[in-house]
Structure formats: C-alpha cells, structure tokens
Chain A
Amino acid sequence: MEYLQLGRISLIISFLLIIIGFWGILSQKNIIKIIVSFTILDTGINVLIVSLGYLKGRTAPIIDASVSQGPNHNVLNAIVDPVPQALVLTAIVIGFGVTALLLAYAMKLFKAKRTLEINQFNDLKW
C-alpha cells in the first residue's frame, strides 16, 4: 500500500481532473459546458498545488490544537508547507473571478445570438 498514500492519490486525481478539464474545453460545443470544464481544470490545479505541498504525517498550517506548541518544539516540523496552501486560496479567488466573468460573457453571448453553441461565434476570422 505504499503507492496509495494520500499525497499520491490526490496527485493522480489532480492530473485526472486537469486532463478532463482540457478534454472538456476542447470537445464540448456548449459554452456553459466549456466553462464547467474550465472550473474542473481549475479544481484539478488547486488539488495539484495542495498535494505537492503535502508532507506525510503533518497537519494543516493552522496553529490550533492539532499542533503541539511546546517551548522546544518547532511548529514548522508539525505542519505541511504553508505556502501552497496560501497559493491555493489565492488561486481559488482568481478562479472564481474568471468563472464569474466567463459566465457573464456566456450571458452576453446568449443574448446576442440566442444560442450557446461556440461554433456560432465566428464573426471574426482570417
């Protein structure tokens, strides 16, 4: 069971999500589905970030009861790397913003042509 540690599982899942996301973006014709695929991709990346920062047997970088705070005990040895965790938070916020914007655009596109098929929006070409 060495292979199936938490870190590795989440790593595999993250890659799966990323690939599904890319696949969705490239294959789905409906704009809403593309946006959903994009959020899947985003989630995959977030999972990836967290799993790369994961260290076996350590806890979340929040200094609370789960972290023993003895005088000679270095807190850093008890928690996982805090930086990826912080990054994920930021990335989620940004992903939220982008998704919101994409949905707003989807709305505008639908208003323009009463359709959500991405093939229908080829006004600009060549």
Chain B
Amino acid sequence: MVSPIYIVAAALGVGFAIGVLGKLGKNFSGILALLTIGFMTFVSSEWLYAFYVGNQVPTYIFTAGFKPPISINLLMGPKEAFLTTMVNFIGLLGGIYLFFNFGRKGRNAYVVYMVFLMSLNVVIMTRDIFNLFVFLEISAIATAGLILIERGNRAVGAGFKYIIATSIISSILLIGIIFAYFYTGTLNIDGLVQAHLSTTATGGIAVFLIMIAAVLEMKPFPANGWGLDVYEGSHQGFSAVVSVATATASYYVLYKLLAIAGPVGSQWDYYLALMGAVTFIGSNLLGVKQKFARRLLAYSSIGQLGLLMLILGLRKYLGDNLDYVVLGILITNLFAKTGFFWLAGIVKAKTLKEWAIIRRKPFFLFLMGTFVFALIGFPPFPSFFAKWTMVMNLARQGGFGWIAVILIGSFLEAIYLFRWFGYAVKGEDTYKYDFNIRWHKITPIVILVAALYYAGYLTSQYTELGRMIDFIPLFFVLVLFAIDFLPVAVKNTIAILGMGTYFYFIYPDLDNLRLIFEVIFMVGGILTLIAGYAYKGKRSGFYPVAILMYAGLTGIIQAHTTLEFFFGWELMTAGSYFLIIRGKRSMPHALSYMLFSVAGAYAILAGFGIANIGQAFPSLDIMNNIQYFPNWAYGLLLIGFLTKTASVGLHIWLPGAHGEAESDVSPMVSAILLKAGVFGIVLALIGMSKSDFDLSALAYTLGWIGALTALFGNIGAVFQEDAKRLLAYSSIGQLGYIVFAFAIMTQLGWLTGFTYVINHFLYKAVLFLTVGAIVLRVGTHNMYEMGGLIKKMPWAFFAVLIGIIALSGVPPLSGFTGKWLFYNAIIEKGWYFQGVIAMFAGGIAFLYLYRLIQTIFLGQLKDNHRNVKEISIWFLIPIYTLLTGILVFSYEPQWVLKPLGNMIAQYFPNNGLHWEGSYAYSHLGYWTGAGVAATVSVVFVIAFILLKIMTRKAHKLEQFDIVFSGERPERPETTHIAYNMYAGFYKAVWPLTVPLVERFWTWMSDLVHETAGFVRRIYSGNGQAYMLHIILYIIILYFITIGGNI
C-alpha cells in the first residue's frame, strides 16, 4: 500500500522537476504531469479498493516525526479514499481534456494543475485546521491561475472576483481558527471536536467564523456571484474540474468542520439545512430564466452544492444512510456535471437554442441525454437511488417540509434542463457553424458516461431493495441502442420477439389484476409495434426508447416493492418522453409532458415516503396498510397518478403530446401508456378500500375530478380541427370516466372501470392507429383538409366506424357494456350528479365522433387525395386484430366480466352483478350482450338485404353529382362542411371551453420566470457587490445563529 503522503510528494516533486527540466519540451512536461496525476489516482484508488474489499482500517499519516497536536496529520479513511479517488480521477480526465489548452500556456500550467489537484487531496485528508486553511488558499491561488487558460476579458474579470472573494472567506476562516486555537489550545480537528467549543459563548464565535467560512466555500445563494462567474467565465474544461473537484473538497471541508460545531442534531445542522435549501431552490429558480448554456450549468452546479449542504444539514434524519445519499448525489454530480461542462466545451453553442446543432451528431445527443436524466435523478443513475433513500428517511423521521424543499428544487432544475434538452432534440437548427470532434476531448466524456451507468448499477446493488430490481428489460434497451444501425424491420422483429418472450416468461407469476394491465401493456405493445413495419429506413433511436417505455410499464406491473414500482415508473416516463418528442412539432408538448410527469413522480415519491412510515419493509403492500397521515399519502399518490391519466387541471400536456406524436406512437402513449396511471390509481384505491381510516372524502373528490375530466375532455374534443388532437382530448374524457368509475369503490363501479379500461385500450388503439396511418398517407392532421376518403380507404373506414360506435356506447358494441354498468353503479352508489355530468359528457362524445368519421371519410374527396392508397397493411393487421377484440368483448362480455367480478370480489362485496348465461342482472336492471347483438344483427341484415334487393339497379354517382344552392359544385372545398363544424354548439357552450386551466398554468409559469428575472438582478456583475453580498450574508447569518445569545 502506497502511503497517501506520496500523493503530495509526487505532485510537488514532479512539479519542481518540470521546472528544472523545462528544456525537455512542453509535451514531455504534460505527459509527465498526466503520469503523476495517474499515479495520484492509483494511490487513492488503491486505498479505496482496500476499503471496499473490507480488510483495511482507517489510517493516520503523521508528518515531521511528531504526533498531533504538535504536527500535522492526515487521515486516510474510506470517505477520504473515495473522495480523493474521485478528485484525482476527474483531475486525470480533465488533464487529458485540457492537455493542449495547458500546452498553449506553457509547461507551468501543468505544474499549477498538479498542485491544484494535490491541494484538493490534502484538503480532503488533513486533520489539521490550519493546514486546511493553507491548502484551501493554495487551491484558490492555483484556481485563479488556471482560470487564465481561457482567453478573453471575461475570464480575467471572473478570476479577479474569485480570488478576492476566496481571500475574504479565508480571512474569516483564519480569524475563526485563531479564536478556536485561543480557546482550546489545539489546531487538530479531532482535538477541536473534543473541546466542545460551541458550548461556550465565546467559543461559539470561533465556531461561527469557521462554519461561515466553510459554508461560503460552498457558494451559498445569494452570496455566490463570484462562483457563478468562475463557472461561466473560465475555460469549460476547467470549470468542470472546479465545479466538481473543488466542490467535492469543499463539501468534505464542511463535513469535517461540522463536527466542531456540535454533534448530530445540533443547531448548526439546522442552519446548514436552511442555507442549503435556500441555495438549492434559489439557484435552480434563477436557472429557469437563463438563456446561456454555460451560465445555466453554473446555476445547476451551485444548486447541487446547495443540495449537498442541505443533505449534510439533514444528517439527523438520514442517520446511517447519510453516506449513501451523499455518495449517490455526489457521484452523479461528479460524472454528469463534468461531462456536461466538457460537452459544452466541445459543442461551443452559446445559447440554449443553439444547442440544436448537437443532434447533427446523434451520439452527442445520447451523451447529453444521459447527463440530463442523471442530473434530474432518473433511474438507473445513482442520484435516483439517493433521492429515494433520502425521501424515505426524511418521511420516516417526519421531515416533510424538507421533502417539499428537495422536490421543489429538483423540479425547478428539471424545468430548465428539459427545456434545454428539448431545444437540443427538436429546436430549429439554422446555425451555420459546426463543431468538431477531437478525440482527446471525447474520450473523457465517454468514460464518464460509462462510469455513470456502471455507478448506477453499483448503487442499486448496494441495498437489499435495489438488488430486487429486474435489470433485464433495461439491458435489452441497451442492446437495442447498440444495434441502432440496423434497418427498421430487423429491429422491429427483435423488439417484438423480445417483448413476446419476456411476456411469456413473466405472465404465470401475475395475479388477475396485474394480468389485465400486463396484457394491455405487452400485447398492446406488440400490436402497436407491428405497425412499425410500415416505416422505411433506420428509424434511428425509436426502438430503444419505445422498449424503455415498455420496460418501465412491465416494471410497475412486476414490482414487489415501492422502489421497484418507482423505478419502473420513471423508466416509463423517460421512454415515453423520448417517444413523444420524436413528433415533428412536439418540443413544447414533450416539455410540458415531462414537467407534469416529473412533478407527478415527485408526488408519488412523497406519497410512498409517507406510506413507508412505520413499515418494516417497503413492499408494495404497504399501500394497503398506511398507518400515518393516510389522507396525505393516498392524496399524494393519487395526484401523482392523475398527472399520468391527464385529469382535469393536470391535463394540458396531453393534447399536444398525443396529437403531435408519430402515427404509431400516439396509440402507444394513448391507448397503452395512460393505463399506467390507471393501474396506479387502482393500487391506491385497493389500499384505500382496505384502510381502517375513513377515506371517503378522498374517493368522493376523486369521483368529481373524474366526472369533470370527462366533461371537459369531451367538450374540448368537439372543437378540435386536428384529428389526432381530437382523439387526444377524447382520451382525456375517457380517462375521466375510468377515474370516476374506480372512485365509486363498489364492485359495479370497478367492473365499470375495468370495462372502460379494456374498451378504451381497444378502440383508442384502433382509432389512433387508423388516423395515424391516414395521416401518413395524406400528410396532414387537419380534418378539414381531408374528406371523402371512404372511397380510397374502405378498410380504414370500417375500422373507424366500429371504433366510434364502440366508443359512443351505442348498443350492441362493447361501449354499451360500460354505459350500462355505469348507470347501475352510480345509482347504487348515489353519486347522481357526478354521474349525470359524466353521462352528459357521453352525449357530447357523439359530436366529436361524428366529426371524426364525417370530415375524414365522408363528404367530398379533395383533389390532392385522388391518388392516395389504402392505409398500410402493417397498420391494418393490428387494427383488425383489435377490432376482433372489440367484437368479442361486445358479443360475449361475460367472458371477461365474470372473472373480473370474481377478482374484484377480493376487494369489495360480491353483490353488484350476477350472471345467468349471457344475462347480466344488477339490483336495478338486466341486459344481455349476446342477445341484443343477435337481435340487432338479424334486423340489420334483413333490412340490408331487402334494401339491396330493392335498389339493385342503383346507378353509381360521381363525386359532384349533387345540387347545392342550385349549382353543381366543382370544388370539394366549397361543399365539405368540416371547418368549425359545431359553430352553433360553440355559441351555446363556449363558457365551458374557456381554457382556465391553461391560463392558470401560464400564469404560474410566468410567475416563476418573472420572479427569477427579478431576483437574478442581484448578480450585477460587479465584484464589489459580490463582496458586499458575502459580508451581508455573514452578518445576517450571525444574527440568525447567535445574534441574541450573547
């Protein structure tokens, strides 16, 4: 084992050697420096490995032949080993990245860089507080020197602000150290800890000065203008190292010095948490308004520092899990933020919008996506597990306010990162300049990305819960990424086979409830994938993300623990986000989808956190047995799930997201994905039905939400000109029915709910697939640009015909099954008014359904569509398979409903409905699906045959063989009634169409942006103002902490 002192020795020795051997040339010096950093990395990682294997005890390294307090000592423990390894590893990659940049400044740049890293190592390891001060100063001086490798005035200005700010902070620290020494007579940190300085008033001042200096090193909001400037102004390669390596060291300084301030749970914990919270939320809030990429990264970095400070302050709550949480956040930030800064250095796009150029090289988009999702805390990255653990612990200890702070801050971060990512994926790329690939700059980034994924896996395996997660689907996703260069047919076949095989292996383990949803997810998934054969070329990037969504969906079905569920939920969100953003004009819609999803996911996370209180093991069954704050727990869970089902108030993302998606993506995200939210609601309601608490108010509210969603969704659909948006609004309405039906919480209600779930899956998949396929043929979504297509696409027409009859609820098709059950359920439950609203919404559905079929297929064929062909056979296959499903479910509903009734009997008394053959009897009425269908079919066929015989000589007319206002029309446009078709109805119901919800969210968004725009004016750019901020921060904190006690 190499002693850590050689880290210092090697850096200094080689530094002097380079100075002496300068004649040997820049490149030689550079390589020598890199080798030295490599050696430093080796030493620290050797220690880390020894600790990891478990046979190593923390070791003190004494210097100068004396023991402390006389001499300075270093400590190499597991934490130090980990942190130094990280610092040196990032330093090594940074050295490679910056190799030529240093070279341009001459060989001394390498020396300074080595000294910089070495000083950070010592800062981490030292146990002597004055030594800490010295090396903090050395690192500051080295940093100020290295800032200058970036050319231009901005870097110089930033460097000056930085050095003067750090000097002031160091001065404060030095004064604190002196006082501490004066009162205790030691400079050793362990000695200071034992002295219990903060118990005395005067010692309290020493502690205050030391702590405030350590805090200021963490760049707390708002006294951090100088820090932002350094991140933004210095060279991107170096900003990365400062932002993560220095930050890591600063965090550890704070960690070490916090011991001086007092034991766990002392006052300073609280102050730290408070300052961290302000920084985390403040920085991310200001980031929302930021337009420039580099400064945005700076805000994000400082936000992460705030989060670390917050976590440290919350160590009382986190207990033994503190290290795990910190590790997860820190490692994600280390890898992702460094990589992001370096990526920014390569892409060289200034504003966020200019980042559209990145997708010219798709691999870079992949890199960026990895960083964005890692920073937000999506699985499988370490921050996901850290955030999970943190929330669970906080909830368990009652730190609900802190959960809110963390989630709000993270949400703000998600806003700007996803907006940025949206620009990169879909923004307009009209820029002339390009960016070049330089291998020495790419390689470190690629290493970081690989490390990020691997670290995520390792983090998950570290806990018992994480080990239960099934990574096979995720691995399949990676395989699909790897074979993305293959043609679409091959990938499609592989994807279908993969899903089929997986489904075959898992379905025996599922209970009936899960089986229904899994069939919708998997079989539905395979059917919609079949439509993918209609696409030509590579369809780059489609299959990995589609399978990512299905991996998430099957993950939530198979989940045994809340962690697995949340893991699957987030994967599904990520996958569906990528699917949605593939649409041509999807950028803003994908963003709002993602933001609602993230917010919903956080609500779910918080809900699980509360549910977990007092539970021994976080299996998914805890939802059936929530012991504390059940209204909050179920309420949060339901809100989270309602974002996915797009219930009224949370629905504004859906029309755009589903409407603008690709043809075969719309059915995936509408018919299939929305059911994930329903599954969640079902789980929550099962829990509520078993709860000992009275939760009827919650169910009642949910019922109203469902009914109003049905109404507003359907009214919205009536006035759409875009066929896919019409279907999207229709989905909102249908999901409203489903939510309402489940909220009834009786056997009949749930039967209704499941009937709607199955129905909506079937007919919405049919309708979206058909309309999507038509859009592919005619090249427009606007219904008024279509018309008369029945002559060209009879098969598509028939599919839509059956689809709309089923959706409208007209007997004899399956939609009526749902309506009939619905009436019985609401009357039995006594929810008359909600029920009437929902049924009224059903009447409105006729309007948009007729509009859909009329304006697309009937009326007049447009001239530019005279040569369109029937929709692709690859769409017709899944469509007609689903139609078969509709017909079977219509004619023999009892095949499905009987077993469903038995399954629901586990949760609710089995008294709502009984079957005699094909006859269904409720308390109120009766009805037979097969009988009605047979009667209607017989009459229909007889009538049809009779009419056909009587009109057998009918003469076929041409398109314009009609007389309209005494003229024979010649243009289809003048006689195709399609645009603004329900103008009269609009005049009657317009008050219901006022987009109040959209206005509310716009107002919220404006509020956030305006606040950010106002607050960020404190960063005036004036270095002196920043000094003032620091001084004021100290003064204010003084009054908060010890002001009144002296």
**Residues of A in contact with B (beta carbons under 8 Å apart):** 18, 22, 25-26, 29, 31, 34, 38, 41-42, 45, 48-49, 52-53, 83-84, 87, 90-91, 94, 97-98, 101-102, 105-106, 108-109, 112-113, 118-119, 121-126
Contact = CB atoms under 8 A, between A and B. Distances in A.
23 contacts: A18-B175, A41-B168, A45-B171, A45-B174, A49-B174, A49-B178, A83-B187, A87-B177, A90-B134, A97-B141, A98-B163, A102-B163, A105-B144, A105-B156, A106-B160, A108-B148, A112-B153, A118-B1024, A121-B161, A122-B1020, A123-B233, A124-B233, A126-B1017
A38 B171 CA distance: 10
A105 B233 contact: no
B304 to A, nearest CB: 20
A49 B1017 CA distance: 39
Interface in B128-169: 130, 134, 137-138, 140-141, 144-145, 148, 153-154, 156-161, 163-164, 167-168
A82 to B, nearest CB: 10
A124 B157 contact: yes
A25 B178 contact: no
A87 B163 contact: no
B130, B158, B164, B179: most-surrounded residue (chain A CB, <10 A): B164
A91 B136 CA distance: 12
A34 B1022 CA distance: 13
A42 B148 CA distance: 25
Interface in B206-235: 228-229, 232-233
A53 B185 CA distance: 10
Given A25-B164, A31-B160, A122 B232 contact: no
Nearest to A28: B1024
B168 A98 contact: no
B144 A101 contact: yes
A90 B130 contact: yes
B171 A41 contact: yes
B1022 A119 contact: yes
Contacts of A122: 157, 1020-1022
Contacts of A84: 178, 181
A105 B233 CA distance: 15
Contact of A125 (B130, B148, B1021): B1021
A52 B160 CA distance: 32
A125 B159 contact: no
B1028 A26 contact: yes
B156 A109 contact: yes
B1023 A98 contact: no
A94 B137 contact: yes
B126 to A, nearest CB: 14
Contacts of A94: 134, 137-138, 170
Contact of B1021 (A29, A90, A124): A124
A10 B281 CA distance: 44
A109 B175 CA distance: 30
A22, A41, A45, A126: most-surrounded residue (chain B CB, <10 A): A126
B507 interface: no
Contacts of B164: 25, 34, 38, 102
B1019 interface: yes
B257 interface: no
B214 to A, nearest CB: 17
Contacts of A41: 168, 171
A119 B1025 CA distance: 9
A63 B177 CA distance: 26
A48 B228 CA distance: 32
A112 B1027 contact: no
A109 B157 contact: yes
B154 A98 contact: no
A83 B181 contact: yes
Interface in B389-408: none
B186 to A, nearest CB: 9
A34 B134 CA distance: 22
Contacts of B168: 25, 38, 41
Given A109-B157, A119-B1022, A98 B167 contact: yes
B1031 interface: yes
B6 interface: no
Contact of B153 (A97, A101, A106, A123): A123
Nearest to A119: B1022
By secondary structure, the A interface counts as helix
Contacts of A42: 171
A77 to B, nearest CB: 15
A102 B181 CA distance: 29
B1021 A26 contact: no
Contacts of B178: 45, 48-49, 52, 84, 87
Contacts of A49: 174, 178
A124 B229 contact: yes
B187 A125 contact: no
A52 B175 CA distance: 11
Contacts of A98: 137, 140-141, 163, 167
Contacts of A18: 171, 175
B1016 interface: yes
A96 to B, nearest CB: 11
B182 interface: yes
A123 B157 contact: yes
A113 B288 CA distance: 32
Given A26-B1024, A52-B179, A98-B137, 15 more contacts: A26-B1027, A31-B160, A45-B171, A48-B175, A48-B178, A52-B182, A83-B181, A94-B170, A98-B141, A101-B144, A108-B148, A108-B156, A118-B1023, A121-B160, A124-B232
A118 B1022 contact: yes
A105 B1024 contact: no
B445 to A, nearest CB: 25
B1031 A26 contact: yes
Nearest 5 CB-CB pairs, A to B?
Answer: A122-B1021, A125-B1021, A121-B157, A112-B153, A124-B229
Contacts of A108: 148, 156
A106 B228 CA distance: 20
A100 B97 CA distance: 29
Given A38-B164, A122-B1021, A123-B157, A25 B1027 contact: yes
A122 to B, nearest CB: 3
Contacts of A125: 1019-1021
Contacts of A34: 164, 1024
Nearest to A122: B1021
A52 B1024 CA distance: 31
Contacts of B174: 45, 49, 91
Contacts of A102: 160, 163-164, 167
Interface string B995-1030: 000000000000000000000110111111001100
B1021 A113 contact: no
A126 B1016 contact: yes
A126 B229 CA distance: 9
A22 B1035 CA distance: 13
A122 B228 CA distance: 13
A81 B923 CA distance: 95
Interface string B253-274: 0000000000000000000000
A11 to B, nearest CB: 11
Nearest to A27: B1024
B140, B154, B157: most-surrounded residue (chain A CB, <10 A): B157
Contacts of A29: 1024
A116 B157 CA distance: 11
B171 A105 contact: no
B301 to A, nearest CB: 15
Contact of A109 (B160, B167, B228, B1020): B160
B138, B156, B1031: most-surrounded residue (chain A CB, <10 A): B156
Contact of A101 (B130, B163, B1019, B1020): B163
A90 B144 CA distance: 20
A126 B1019 contact: yes
A98 to B, nearest CB: 5
Given A122-B1022, A126-B1019, A105 B181 contact: no
Nearest to A38: B167
